A and B are shown apart, each in its own frame.
Chain A
Amino acid sequence: MTIALDINRVSYSYGSRMALDDVSFTVDAGRFTALLGPNGAGKSTLFALATRLLSIPEGSISVFGADLARTPGVALRRMGIVFQQPTLDLDLSVAQNLRYFASLHGIGRREADRRMEAELSRLDMAERAGEKVRALNGGHRRRAEIARALLHRPSLLLLDEPTVGLDLPTRRRLIDHVHALCRDEGIAALWATHLIDEIDTTRDAVVILHQGRVRAAGTAAAVMGPVSLDQAFNTLTGAAE
Protein backbone atom coordinates (compact mmCIF):
# COMPACT_ATOMS: atom_id res chain seq x y z
CA MET A 1 0.00 0.00 0.00
CA THR A 2 1.24 3.54 -0.78
CA ILE A 3 2.41 5.49 2.23
CA ALA A 4 0.78 8.91 2.31
CA LEU A 5 2.42 10.24 5.45
CA ASP A 6 5.62 8.96 6.97
CA ILE A 7 6.54 10.24 10.42
CA ASN A 8 10.03 8.99 11.11
CA ARG A 9 11.69 9.24 14.55
CA VAL A 10 10.38 12.74 15.24
CA SER A 11 11.16 14.39 18.55
CA TYR A 12 10.26 17.86 19.74
CA SER A 13 10.54 19.76 23.00
CA TYR A 14 9.31 23.07 24.33
CA GLY A 15 12.33 24.16 26.31
CA SER A 16 13.00 21.40 28.79
CA ARG A 17 9.60 19.74 28.34
CA MET A 18 9.59 16.91 25.83
CA ALA A 19 6.41 17.07 23.73
CA LEU A 20 7.24 14.29 21.26
CA ASP A 21 9.77 11.57 21.87
CA ASP A 22 10.99 9.48 18.94
CA VAL A 23 7.58 9.29 17.25
CA SER A 24 7.28 7.04 14.19
CA PHE A 25 4.24 5.83 12.28
CA THR A 26 2.78 5.85 8.78
CA VAL A 27 -0.59 6.71 7.27
CA ASP A 28 -1.63 4.64 4.27
CA ALA A 29 -3.26 6.10 1.18
CA GLY A 30 -7.03 5.65 1.16
CA ARG A 31 -7.22 4.88 4.86
CA PHE A 32 -8.76 6.74 7.78
CA THR A 33 -6.15 6.79 10.53
CA ALA A 34 -7.11 8.06 13.95
CA LEU A 35 -4.43 9.71 16.04
CA LEU A 36 -5.80 8.94 19.45
CA GLY A 37 -4.47 10.48 22.60
CA PRO A 38 -5.61 12.27 25.73
CA ASN A 39 -5.24 16.05 26.00
CA GLY A 40 -1.56 16.98 26.16
CA ALA A 41 -0.43 13.79 24.41
CA GLY A 42 1.39 15.79 21.72
CA LYS A 43 -1.19 15.58 18.91
CA SER A 44 -1.26 19.31 18.14
CA THR A 45 2.54 19.52 18.25
CA LEU A 46 2.70 16.68 15.75
CA PHE A 47 0.21 18.54 13.52
CA ALA A 48 2.24 21.74 13.76
CA LEU A 49 5.32 19.80 12.67
CA ALA A 50 3.49 17.94 9.89
CA THR A 51 2.16 21.24 8.50
CA ARG A 52 5.55 22.98 8.75
CA LEU A 53 4.33 25.53 11.29
CA LEU A 54 7.12 24.23 13.49
CA SER A 55 10.44 23.17 12.02
CA ILE A 56 11.50 19.60 12.65
CA PRO A 57 14.58 19.52 14.87
CA GLU A 58 14.92 15.73 14.93
CA GLY A 59 13.61 13.07 12.59
CA SER A 60 11.81 13.54 9.29
CA ILE A 61 8.29 13.81 7.86
CA SER A 62 7.45 13.02 4.27
CA VAL A 63 4.24 13.22 2.28
CA PHE A 64 3.98 10.70 -0.57
CA GLY A 65 7.76 10.51 -0.51
CA ALA A 66 8.36 14.27 -0.53
CA ASP A 67 10.42 15.35 2.45
CA LEU A 68 8.67 18.21 4.24
CA ALA A 69 11.88 19.95 5.28
CA ARG A 70 13.65 19.67 1.92
CA THR A 71 10.73 20.06 -0.51
CA PRO A 72 8.00 21.76 1.51
CA GLY A 73 6.15 23.04 -1.55
CA VAL A 74 5.73 19.55 -3.01
CA ALA A 75 4.64 18.10 0.32
CA LEU A 76 2.21 20.89 1.21
CA ARG A 77 0.59 20.83 -2.22
CA ARG A 78 -0.69 17.31 -1.50
CA MET A 79 -1.94 18.13 1.98
CA GLY A 80 -5.33 19.44 3.10
CA ILE A 81 -5.47 20.76 6.65
CA VAL A 82 -8.20 21.42 9.19
CA PHE A 83 -6.74 22.94 12.33
CA GLN A 84 -8.25 22.51 15.76
CA GLN A 85 -8.51 26.28 16.11
CA PRO A 86 -10.91 27.76 13.53
CA THR A 87 -8.99 29.63 10.83
CA LEU A 88 -11.81 31.17 8.79
CA ASP A 89 -12.01 34.94 8.60
CA LEU A 90 -15.21 35.78 10.45
CA ASP A 91 -15.78 39.05 8.56
CA LEU A 92 -15.66 37.45 5.13
CA SER A 93 -18.25 35.21 3.51
CA VAL A 94 -17.74 31.47 3.09
CA ALA A 95 -17.09 31.98 -0.62
CA GLN A 96 -14.58 34.77 0.00
CA ASN A 97 -12.75 32.61 2.53
CA LEU A 98 -12.60 29.68 0.13
CA ARG A 99 -11.51 31.78 -2.83
CA TYR A 100 -8.78 33.30 -0.68
CA PHE A 101 -7.52 29.86 0.28
CA ALA A 102 -7.65 28.71 -3.36
CA SER A 103 -5.48 31.67 -4.34
CA LEU A 104 -2.89 30.62 -1.74
CA HIS A 105 -2.62 27.42 -3.74
CA GLY A 106 -2.44 29.28 -7.04
CA ILE A 107 -5.96 28.35 -8.15
CA GLY A 108 -7.63 31.06 -10.26
CA ARG A 109 -11.06 32.44 -9.46
CA ARG A 110 -13.08 30.61 -12.11
CA GLU A 111 -11.64 27.22 -11.23
CA ALA A 112 -11.90 28.02 -7.52
CA ASP A 113 -15.61 28.84 -7.89
CA ARG A 114 -16.22 25.60 -9.74
CA ARG A 115 -14.49 23.50 -7.12
CA MET A 116 -16.04 25.48 -4.27
CA GLU A 117 -19.53 24.86 -5.56
CA ALA A 118 -18.83 21.13 -5.83
CA GLU A 119 -17.27 20.81 -2.37
CA LEU A 120 -19.89 22.94 -0.62
CA SER A 121 -22.68 21.00 -2.34
CA ARG A 122 -21.28 17.71 -1.08
CA LEU A 123 -21.47 19.11 2.42
CA ASP A 124 -24.92 20.68 1.91
CA MET A 125 -23.40 24.10 2.27
CA ALA A 126 -23.88 25.53 -1.22
CA GLU A 127 -26.68 27.85 -0.15
CA ARG A 128 -24.48 29.27 2.62
CA ALA A 129 -21.66 30.35 0.31
CA GLY A 130 -22.65 34.01 0.42
CA GLU A 131 -23.11 34.17 4.20
CA LYS A 132 -20.57 35.73 6.49
CA VAL A 133 -18.76 33.13 8.58
CA ARG A 134 -19.68 35.05 11.71
CA ALA A 135 -23.34 34.18 11.05
CA LEU A 136 -22.70 30.43 10.86
CA ASN A 137 -22.90 27.95 13.70
CA GLY A 138 -19.95 25.79 14.72
CA GLY A 139 -21.01 22.82 12.58
CA HIS A 140 -21.35 24.89 9.43
CA ARG A 141 -18.02 26.58 10.04
CA ARG A 142 -16.35 23.20 10.33
CA ARG A 143 -18.00 22.00 7.16
CA ALA A 144 -16.77 25.13 5.39
CA GLU A 145 -13.26 24.39 6.67
CA ILE A 146 -13.41 20.83 5.36
CA ALA A 147 -14.64 22.07 1.97
CA ARG A 148 -11.78 24.54 1.98
CA ALA A 149 -9.23 21.86 2.83
CA LEU A 150 -10.37 19.87 -0.22
CA LEU A 151 -10.31 22.72 -2.76
CA HIS A 152 -6.82 21.97 -4.06
CA ARG A 153 -7.64 18.25 -4.27
CA PRO A 154 -5.18 16.95 -1.71
CA SER A 155 -4.28 13.28 -1.36
CA LEU A 156 -3.75 13.56 2.38
CA LEU A 157 -6.11 15.23 4.84
CA LEU A 158 -4.89 16.26 8.29
CA LEU A 159 -7.65 17.07 10.78
CA ASP A 160 -6.76 18.16 14.29
CA GLU A 161 -9.70 17.44 16.59
CA PRO A 162 -12.18 18.83 14.05
CA THR A 163 -15.25 17.85 16.07
CA VAL A 164 -14.41 19.77 19.23
CA GLY A 165 -17.47 21.67 20.44
CA LEU A 166 -19.87 20.11 17.95
CA ASP A 167 -23.08 18.26 18.80
CA LEU A 168 -23.33 14.52 18.25
CA PRO A 169 -25.24 14.48 14.91
CA THR A 170 -22.87 17.05 13.40
CA ARG A 171 -19.86 15.08 14.64
CA ARG A 172 -21.27 11.90 13.13
CA ARG A 173 -21.88 13.60 9.83
CA LEU A 174 -18.36 14.99 9.57
CA ILE A 175 -16.81 11.63 10.45
CA ASP A 176 -18.96 9.87 7.85
CA HIS A 177 -17.99 12.44 5.24
CA VAL A 178 -14.26 11.97 5.82
CA HIS A 179 -14.67 8.17 5.84
CA ALA A 180 -16.44 8.46 2.49
CA LEU A 181 -13.58 10.56 1.11
CA CYS A 182 -11.11 7.83 2.10
CA ARG A 183 -13.26 5.02 0.74
CA ASP A 184 -14.48 6.61 -2.51
CA GLU A 185 -11.63 8.92 -3.49
CA GLY A 186 -8.62 7.19 -1.99
CA ILE A 187 -7.72 10.15 0.22
CA ALA A 188 -5.63 9.37 3.29
CA ALA A 189 -6.88 11.01 6.48
CA LEU A 190 -5.10 11.54 9.78
CA TRP A 191 -7.83 12.42 12.27
CA ALA A 192 -6.58 13.54 15.68
CA THR A 193 -9.05 12.96 18.47
CA HIS A 194 -9.40 11.95 22.07
CA LEU A 195 -12.88 10.54 21.48
CA ILE A 196 -12.81 6.78 20.91
CA ASP A 197 -16.35 6.67 19.54
CA GLU A 198 -15.14 8.55 16.45
CA ILE A 199 -13.22 5.48 15.31
CA ASP A 200 -14.65 2.72 13.18
CA THR A 201 -12.96 -0.29 14.74
CA THR A 202 -13.74 -2.51 11.78
CA ARG A 203 -11.73 -0.62 9.18
CA ASP A 204 -9.78 2.34 10.61
CA ALA A 205 -6.14 2.42 11.58
CA VAL A 206 -5.20 3.80 14.98
CA VAL A 207 -2.11 5.44 16.44
CA ILE A 208 -2.21 5.85 20.20
CA LEU A 209 -0.08 8.72 21.42
CA HIS A 210 0.51 9.28 25.10
CA GLN A 211 2.96 11.65 26.80
CA GLY A 212 4.66 12.27 23.49
CA ARG A 213 5.30 8.62 22.63
CA VAL A 214 3.56 6.18 20.32
CA ARG A 215 2.07 3.44 22.53
CA ALA A 216 0.49 1.43 19.72
CA ALA A 217 -0.05 1.69 15.98
CA GLY A 218 -1.84 -0.48 13.46
CA THR A 219 -5.36 -1.40 12.45
CA ALA A 220 -7.90 -0.78 15.20
CA ALA A 221 -8.54 -4.52 15.39
CA ALA A 222 -4.85 -5.29 15.93
CA VAL A 223 -4.44 -2.57 18.55
CA MET A 224 -7.57 -3.73 20.43
CA GLY A 225 -6.76 -7.43 20.51
CA PRO A 226 -9.39 -9.32 22.43
CA VAL A 227 -10.63 -6.30 24.41
CA SER A 228 -12.53 -3.17 23.34
CA LEU A 229 -10.63 -0.17 21.96
CA ASP A 230 -11.73 1.73 25.02
CA GLN A 231 -10.12 -0.80 27.31
CA ALA A 232 -6.98 -1.05 25.20
CA PHE A 233 -6.66 2.74 25.18
CA ASN A 234 -7.09 2.95 28.94
CA THR A 235 -4.48 0.27 29.48
CA LEU A 236 -1.98 1.83 27.10
CA THR A 237 -2.37 5.34 28.49
CA GLY A 238 -2.57 4.29 32.12
CA ALA A 239 -6.09 5.70 32.43
CA ALA A 240 -7.29 2.37 33.78
CA GLU A 241 -5.13 2.72 36.91
Chain B
Amino acid sequence: MSGWLICLQGIVGREVLRFLHQRSRFLGALVRPLIWLVVFAAGFRAALGVAIIPPYETYITYEVYILPGLVGMIQLFNGMQSSLSMVYDREMGSMRMVLTSPLPRWYLLLCKLVAGVAVSILQVYAFLAIATAFGLDVPLMGALTVLPALVLNGLMLGALGMVLGSHIRQLENFAGVMNFVVFPLFFLSSALYPLYKMRESSEVLYVLCQLNPFTHGVEVIRFALYGQVNPLAGGVVVAVTAALMGLALWGYRPERAIMRKRAAAE
Protein backbone atom coordinates (compact mmCIF):
# COMPACT_ATOMS: atom_id res chain seq x y z
CA MET B 1 0.00 0.00 0.00
CA SER B 2 1.35 3.45 -0.80
CA GLY B 3 2.27 5.89 1.95
CA TRP B 4 -0.60 8.15 0.91
CA LEU B 5 -3.17 5.41 1.39
CA ILE B 6 -1.64 4.34 4.70
CA CYS B 7 -1.93 7.93 5.87
CA LEU B 8 -5.58 8.13 4.81
CA GLN B 9 -6.29 4.83 6.53
CA GLY B 10 -4.52 6.04 9.69
CA ILE B 11 -6.41 9.32 9.90
CA VAL B 12 -9.79 7.71 9.16
CA GLY B 13 -9.04 4.92 11.66
CA ARG B 14 -8.13 7.39 14.37
CA GLU B 15 -11.33 9.44 13.88
CA VAL B 16 -13.49 6.31 13.92
CA LEU B 17 -11.68 5.05 17.02
CA ARG B 18 -12.12 8.38 18.80
CA PHE B 19 -15.80 8.37 17.87
CA LEU B 20 -16.34 4.83 19.15
CA HIS B 21 -14.53 5.68 22.39
CA GLN B 22 -16.80 8.65 22.96
CA ARG B 23 -19.98 6.73 23.78
CA SER B 24 -21.92 9.85 24.70
CA ARG B 25 -21.18 11.30 21.25
CA PHE B 26 -22.33 8.10 19.59
CA LEU B 27 -25.53 8.05 21.64
CA GLY B 28 -26.10 11.77 21.09
CA ALA B 29 -25.71 11.37 17.36
CA LEU B 30 -28.44 8.70 17.33
CA VAL B 31 -30.78 10.00 20.00
CA ARG B 32 -31.19 13.41 18.35
CA PRO B 33 -32.70 12.17 15.06
CA LEU B 34 -34.58 9.37 16.80
CA ILE B 35 -36.40 11.87 19.01
CA TRP B 36 -37.38 13.77 15.88
CA LEU B 37 -38.49 10.58 14.21
CA VAL B 38 -40.42 9.09 17.10
CA VAL B 39 -41.74 12.12 18.98
CA PHE B 40 -41.81 15.04 16.56
CA ALA B 41 -43.06 13.03 13.60
CA ALA B 42 -45.79 11.41 15.70
CA GLY B 43 -47.06 14.85 16.68
CA PHE B 44 -46.97 16.29 13.19
CA ARG B 45 -48.21 13.27 11.28
CA ALA B 46 -51.81 14.30 11.65
CA ALA B 47 -51.24 18.01 11.09
CA LEU B 48 -49.00 17.77 8.04
CA GLY B 49 -50.28 15.93 5.00
CA VAL B 50 -47.66 15.39 2.32
CA ALA B 51 -48.81 15.47 -1.31
CA ILE B 52 -47.28 13.13 -3.85
CA ILE B 53 -44.00 14.73 -4.84
CA PRO B 54 -40.91 13.21 -6.49
CA PRO B 55 -39.28 10.85 -5.78
CA TYR B 56 -42.36 9.38 -4.04
CA GLU B 57 -44.90 7.65 -6.25
CA THR B 58 -47.67 7.43 -3.70
CA TYR B 59 -48.81 9.07 -0.50
CA ILE B 60 -46.30 8.65 2.28
CA THR B 61 -46.36 9.08 6.02
CA TYR B 62 -44.63 12.05 7.56
CA GLU B 63 -42.00 9.75 9.09
CA VAL B 64 -41.04 8.56 5.62
CA TYR B 65 -40.82 12.16 4.43
CA ILE B 66 -38.50 13.36 7.18
CA LEU B 67 -36.21 10.32 7.10
CA PRO B 68 -33.80 11.81 4.48
CA GLY B 69 -33.90 15.11 6.38
CA LEU B 70 -32.86 13.36 9.56
CA VAL B 71 -30.08 11.56 7.73
CA GLY B 72 -28.95 15.00 6.51
CA MET B 73 -29.26 16.27 10.07
CA ILE B 74 -26.90 13.55 11.30
CA GLN B 75 -24.36 14.59 8.68
CA LEU B 76 -24.86 18.28 9.44
CA PHE B 77 -24.19 17.81 13.14
CA ASN B 78 -21.28 15.52 12.39
CA GLY B 79 -19.77 18.07 10.02
CA MET B 80 -19.88 20.60 12.82
CA GLN B 81 -18.57 18.02 15.28
CA SER B 82 -15.62 17.48 12.95
CA SER B 83 -14.84 21.17 13.07
CA LEU B 84 -15.08 20.91 16.85
CA SER B 85 -12.63 18.03 16.66
CA MET B 86 -10.27 20.23 14.65
CA VAL B 87 -10.47 22.97 17.25
CA TYR B 88 -9.91 20.35 19.97
CA ASP B 89 -6.94 18.92 18.08
CA ARG B 90 -5.52 22.38 17.67
CA GLU B 91 -5.95 23.19 21.34
CA MET B 92 -4.58 19.82 22.42
CA GLY B 93 -1.69 20.16 20.00
CA SER B 94 -2.31 16.89 18.16
CA MET B 95 -2.98 18.82 14.94
CA ARG B 96 0.68 19.84 15.10
CA MET B 97 1.73 16.24 14.67
CA VAL B 98 -0.50 15.89 11.63
CA LEU B 99 0.97 19.00 10.05
CA THR B 100 4.53 17.79 10.49
CA SER B 101 3.85 14.75 8.30
CA PRO B 102 5.95 14.84 5.12
CA LEU B 103 2.79 14.53 3.01
CA PRO B 104 1.33 17.71 1.50
CA ARG B 105 -0.83 19.77 3.81
CA TRP B 106 -3.80 19.81 1.41
CA TYR B 107 -3.77 16.02 1.40
CA LEU B 108 -3.70 15.82 5.20
CA LEU B 109 -6.70 18.13 5.45
CA LEU B 110 -8.49 16.11 2.78
CA CYS B 111 -7.84 12.98 4.87
CA LYS B 112 -9.34 14.72 7.91
CA LEU B 113 -12.37 15.57 5.80
CA VAL B 114 -12.78 12.00 4.53
CA ALA B 115 -12.42 10.73 8.11
CA GLY B 116 -15.30 12.96 9.21
CA VAL B 117 -17.43 11.65 6.35
CA ALA B 118 -16.66 8.04 7.33
CA VAL B 119 -17.80 8.73 10.89
CA SER B 120 -21.00 10.37 9.66
CA ILE B 121 -21.78 7.38 7.41
CA LEU B 122 -21.37 5.02 10.38
CA GLN B 123 -23.88 7.12 12.29
CA VAL B 124 -26.33 7.19 9.38
CA TYR B 125 -26.34 3.41 8.96
CA ALA B 126 -26.78 2.89 12.70
CA PHE B 127 -29.72 5.31 12.55
CA LEU B 128 -31.27 3.59 9.52
CA ALA B 129 -30.99 0.24 11.28
CA ILE B 130 -32.74 1.59 14.38
CA ALA B 131 -35.38 3.34 12.25
CA THR B 132 -36.09 0.02 10.53
CA ALA B 133 -36.37 -1.66 13.93
CA PHE B 134 -38.97 0.99 14.84
CA GLY B 135 -41.02 -0.21 11.88
CA LEU B 136 -40.09 2.45 9.35
CA ASP B 137 -39.93 1.19 5.79
CA VAL B 138 -36.37 1.90 4.65
CA PRO B 139 -35.87 0.63 1.09
CA LEU B 140 -33.25 -2.11 1.20
CA MET B 141 -31.63 -1.17 -2.08
CA GLY B 142 -31.90 2.46 -1.04
CA ALA B 143 -29.51 1.77 1.80
CA LEU B 144 -26.93 0.98 -0.88
CA THR B 145 -27.81 3.58 -3.49
CA VAL B 146 -27.75 6.33 -0.87
CA LEU B 147 -24.05 5.77 -0.16
CA PRO B 148 -22.66 8.09 -2.89
CA ALA B 149 -25.15 10.75 -1.79
CA LEU B 150 -23.94 10.39 1.80
CA VAL B 151 -20.34 10.77 0.68
CA LEU B 152 -21.17 13.89 -1.33
CA ASN B 153 -23.33 15.49 1.35
CA GLY B 154 -20.81 14.53 4.04
CA LEU B 155 -17.99 16.16 2.10
CA MET B 156 -20.01 19.35 1.67
CA LEU B 157 -20.93 19.62 5.34
CA GLY B 158 -17.48 18.50 6.49
CA ALA B 159 -15.88 21.17 4.32
CA LEU B 160 -18.28 23.73 5.79
CA GLY B 161 -17.24 22.56 9.26
CA MET B 162 -13.61 22.84 8.28
CA VAL B 163 -14.07 26.41 7.03
CA LEU B 164 -15.75 27.27 10.34
CA GLY B 165 -13.17 25.33 12.36
CA SER B 166 -10.37 27.38 10.80
CA HIS B 167 -11.96 30.52 12.17
CA ILE B 168 -13.23 29.39 15.55
CA ARG B 169 -10.81 30.58 18.20
CA GLN B 170 -11.80 28.32 21.06
CA LEU B 171 -14.09 25.42 21.87
CA GLU B 172 -16.30 27.80 23.84
CA ASN B 173 -17.25 29.66 20.65
CA PHE B 174 -18.89 26.57 19.27
CA ALA B 175 -22.30 27.42 20.72
CA GLY B 176 -22.45 30.33 18.29
CA VAL B 177 -22.00 27.93 15.39
CA MET B 178 -25.02 25.95 16.56
CA ASN B 179 -27.20 29.05 16.76
CA PHE B 180 -26.03 30.87 13.67
CA VAL B 181 -25.15 28.03 11.30
CA VAL B 182 -26.66 24.67 12.22
CA PHE B 183 -30.18 25.74 13.16
CA PRO B 184 -30.73 28.11 10.20
CA LEU B 185 -29.34 25.51 7.78
CA PHE B 186 -31.59 22.81 9.19
CA PHE B 187 -34.84 24.72 9.61
CA LEU B 188 -34.54 26.65 6.35
CA SER B 189 -34.42 23.44 4.34
CA SER B 190 -36.66 20.68 3.03
CA ALA B 191 -35.60 18.39 5.88
CA LEU B 192 -38.81 18.75 7.90
CA TYR B 193 -41.36 20.07 5.41
CA PRO B 194 -41.71 20.05 1.64
CA LEU B 195 -40.81 23.41 0.14
CA TYR B 196 -44.24 23.92 -1.45
CA LYS B 197 -45.58 24.08 2.12
CA MET B 198 -43.04 26.77 2.93
CA ARG B 199 -44.04 28.69 -0.20
CA GLU B 200 -47.67 28.66 0.89
CA SER B 201 -46.71 30.57 4.02
CA SER B 202 -43.85 32.80 2.82
CA GLU B 203 -42.26 33.40 -0.57
CA VAL B 204 -39.14 34.89 1.07
CA LEU B 205 -38.59 31.86 3.27
CA TYR B 206 -39.15 29.64 0.26
CA VAL B 207 -36.40 31.45 -1.68
CA LEU B 208 -34.07 31.21 1.32
CA CYS B 209 -34.74 27.47 1.52
CA GLN B 210 -33.99 27.13 -2.20
CA LEU B 211 -30.70 28.98 -1.73
CA ASN B 212 -29.72 26.80 1.20
CA PRO B 213 -27.24 24.13 0.02
CA PHE B 214 -28.41 21.84 2.83
CA THR B 215 -31.83 21.68 1.12
CA HIS B 216 -30.12 20.27 -1.96
CA GLY B 217 -28.06 17.89 0.18
CA VAL B 218 -31.28 16.52 1.70
CA GLU B 219 -32.87 16.18 -1.75
CA VAL B 220 -29.84 14.31 -3.07
CA ILE B 221 -30.23 11.86 -0.19
CA ARG B 222 -34.02 11.64 -0.63
CA PHE B 223 -33.76 10.73 -4.31
CA ALA B 224 -30.81 8.38 -3.79
CA LEU B 225 -32.76 6.46 -1.14
CA TYR B 226 -35.17 5.50 -3.93
CA GLY B 227 -32.44 4.80 -6.46
CA GLN B 228 -32.96 8.09 -8.29
CA VAL B 229 -30.85 11.09 -9.12
CA ASN B 230 -31.91 14.71 -8.69
CA PRO B 231 -29.61 16.48 -11.19
CA LEU B 232 -30.27 20.02 -9.94
CA ALA B 233 -29.70 19.14 -6.29
CA GLY B 234 -26.69 17.00 -7.21
CA GLY B 235 -25.18 19.82 -9.28
CA VAL B 236 -25.64 22.34 -6.48
CA VAL B 237 -24.10 20.01 -3.90
CA VAL B 238 -21.11 19.22 -6.14
CA ALA B 239 -20.50 22.93 -6.85
CA VAL B 240 -20.87 23.99 -3.21
CA THR B 241 -18.67 21.09 -2.06
CA ALA B 242 -15.93 22.10 -4.50
CA ALA B 243 -16.14 25.74 -3.41
CA LEU B 244 -16.14 24.93 0.32
CA MET B 245 -13.31 22.42 -0.01
CA GLY B 246 -11.24 24.98 -1.89
CA LEU B 247 -12.01 27.56 0.76
CA ALA B 248 -11.22 25.13 3.59
CA LEU B 249 -7.87 24.09 2.12
CA TRP B 250 -6.92 27.64 1.20
CA GLY B 251 -8.09 29.12 4.49
CA TYR B 252 -6.38 26.67 6.82
CA ARG B 253 -3.59 28.59 8.50
CA PRO B 254 -2.02 27.03 11.60
CA GLU B 255 -0.12 30.32 12.01
CA ARG B 256 -3.31 31.98 13.14
CA ALA B 257 -3.72 29.62 16.10
CA ILE B 258 -0.07 30.00 17.13
CA MET B 259 -0.23 33.77 16.85
CA ARG B 260 -3.43 33.92 18.88
CA LYS B 261 -1.80 31.83 21.62
CA ARG B 262 1.21 34.14 21.61
CA ALA B 263 -1.02 37.19 21.79
CA ALA B 264 -3.00 35.66 24.66
CA ALA B 265 0.20 34.77 26.51
CA GLU B 266 1.53 38.31 26.32
Interface residues in chain A, defined as those with a beta carbon under 8 Å from any beta carbon in chain B: 14, 17, 19, 48, 51-55, 72-74, 76-77, 79, 81, 83, 85-92, 96, 99-108
Contact = CB atoms under 8 A, between A and B. Distances in A.
B258 A54 contact: yes
Interface stretch (B5-13, B144-152, B202-210, B244-252): B5-13
B229 interface: no
A34 to B, nearest CB: 22
B259 interface: yes
B102 A76 contact: yes
B101 A104 contact: yes
Nearest to B21: A91
B255 interface: yes
B14 A100 contact: yes
Interface in B247-266: 254-255, 258-259, 262-263, 266
A89 B103 CA distance: 21
- Decide if the interface of chain B is mainly helix, strand, loop or mixed: helix
Given A104-B101, A105-B3, A105-B102, A87 B9 contact: no
B134 interface: no
Residue among B1, B102, B108 having the largest count of chain A Cβ atoms under 10 Å: B102
Interface residues of B, number: 35
A91 B103 contact: no
Interface in B222-246: none
A14 B96 contact: no
Nearest to A79: B100
A91 B115 CA distance: 17
Contacts of B99: 52-53
A92 B7 contact: no
A202 B196 CA distance: 82
A106 B18 contact: no
Contacts of A92: 14, 17-18, 21
B94 interface: yes
17 contacts: A14-B259, A14-B263, A17-B266, A51-B96, A52-B100, A74-B102, A81-B97, A85-B93, A87-B93, A87-B94, A91-B18, A92-B14, A92-B18, A100-B11, A103-B9, A103-B13, A105-B7
